[in-house]
Amino acid sequence: MTRVRISDVAAAAGVSTSTVSLVLNDRTSRISGETRERVREAAAAVGYTPNSIARGLRTQRTRTIGLVSDVIATTPFAGRMLAGAQDAAREHGHLLILVNTGADPAVEQEAIRALVDHQVDAMIYATMWHQVVETPEGLPDRTVFLDCRPADGTHPAVVPDEVAGGLAAVRELVGAGHERIAFVDIAEPNPPVASGLRHQAYLEVLAEAGITPDPAWHVHGEETTAASGRVAAERLLDLPPHRRPTAIFCFNDRMAAGAYVAVHHRGLDVPGDVSIVGYDDQQLVAGELDPPLTTVALPHYEMGRWATEVALGAREPPATPDQTYRMPCPIVRRDSVSSPPAAAANSSRRRA
């Protein structure tokens, strides 16, 4: 059983293929109503849908969009990014072609070439952790960077607004009355872009609250794991009582989970003795901790959507020089923040 072609519709309706094409594409300026009707009925009767390949060859538009990413497997966020891109693509009548390069530059080059050969209408270049990247060779003009931005600012890009997210997170702690607030960061070498930005936000909020940060409050884990977070948090809890933080802002939720372990291990309570805020709103972590973690969500789904819509021309990138949109990161309030313990609050007030 072979595919139904436009000539089959033409034969069934007793007209030429030109007429069928004009009718079905609504270029009906010079086709009579009666003929239109007949063509539509014939098309429905034989179950005709146009062959996208043939159409693409003629029109030079394939209604596909290519998405190149470094790793789709190893992060739980990738799915949301893909889902956003995919939903937006579908809403605009496009299909999403996905290539996962495994961060291998040779594979990446090959992938870009293959997608260009397939005449994708637009391209998205995505990484799974916010970073600044060199622009690969061969990308079409209609390329948007997703969760990364090109060093040379040649293409539109969307990344999380880490600073605004960090501000919201730390203000949440200041707003609850904390004054001794620590930041569990991620160590050198090659800290993620987000590390510097979130730290910057941390310092900014302390400054606006008139708090002089104790350098001992800025600790580092080796990796972004719970185990590393625990080790780093323990260094905070080892501080003498009057310097020990009553609140901890953690680089991410996994490290926050480690901080929980450290706190509980001392027989202390979250949030009664130590309030904790994370970052990422990572499923299966933030929500399942006890108590559930207050954190800042990374808007992966929305970023995926934004990138796709800009790539398809359905939305304008920001008119700034770097064409980079910083997507807001909403704070997710759960139960890991409360006011500081009375003794600490007193000691703070004494110091103030």
Partner DNA sequence: GTGTGGTGATAAATCGATTGATCAGGGAGA
Partner DNA sequence: TCTCCCTGATCAATCGATTTATCACCACAC
Task: Tell me which residue has tokens 């009582």.
Answer: 241
Residue 83 engages its own copies in binding (rule: CB under 8 A): yes
Site string (10-49) toward DNA, x via CB under 7 A:
----xxxxxxxxx-xx-x--xxx-xx------------x-
Which residue, 32 or 74, has its beta carbon nearer to DNA? Answer: 32
Residue 82 interacting partner from DNA, its own copies, none (CB closer than 5 to 8 Å by kind): its own copies
255 binding partner (options its own copies, DNA, none; Cβ < 5 to 8 Å by kind): none
Q: Which is nearer to its own copies, 236 or 285 (CB)?
A: 285
Q: Is 349 in the site for its own copies (CB under 8 A)?
A: no
Q: Single out the residue of 14, 16, 37, 54 in contact with its own copies (rule: CB under 8 A).
A: 54
Binding segment (CB under 8 A) for its own copies, from list 17-25, 99-107, 267-275, 307-315: 99-107
Residues in the chain: 352
Are the beta carbons of 324 and 156 closer than 8 angstroms? yes
244 closest CA partner among 289, 265, 274, 284: 274
Structure-derived torsion over alpha carbons of residues 322, 129, 141, 96, reported in degrees to the nearest 10? -140
List the strands of the sheet with 218-221, edge to edge. Answer: 218-221, 181-186, 247-250, 275-277
Instruction: Find the binding residues for its own copies in span 55-74 (CB under 8 A).
Output: 56-57, 62, 64, 72-74
DSSP string of 256-285?
A: HHHHHHHHHHTT--TTTT-EEE-SB--TTT
Total number of residues that touch its own copies (CB under 8 A): 50
Omega cis (within 30) before 245: no
Q: Can you tell me which of 125, 251, 301, 325 binds its own copies, judged by CB under 8 A?
A: 301
Distance CA 149, CA 107 (A): 20
How far is residue 327's CA from residue 349's CA, in Å, rounded to a whole number? 37
Residue 319 Cα distances to 20, 156, 324, angstroms: 43, 10, 9
**Shortest spacing between CB 1 and DNA, in angstroms:** 13
Residues that bind DNA (CB under 7 A): 3, 5-7, 14-22, 24-25, 27, 30-32, 34-35, 48, 50-51, 54-55, 57-60
Residues that bind its own copies (CB under 8 A): 49-54, 56-57, 62, 64, 72-76, 78-80, 82-83, 86-87, 90, 95-100, 102, 107, 111, 113-119, 226, 254, 257, 261, 282-285, 288, 290, 301
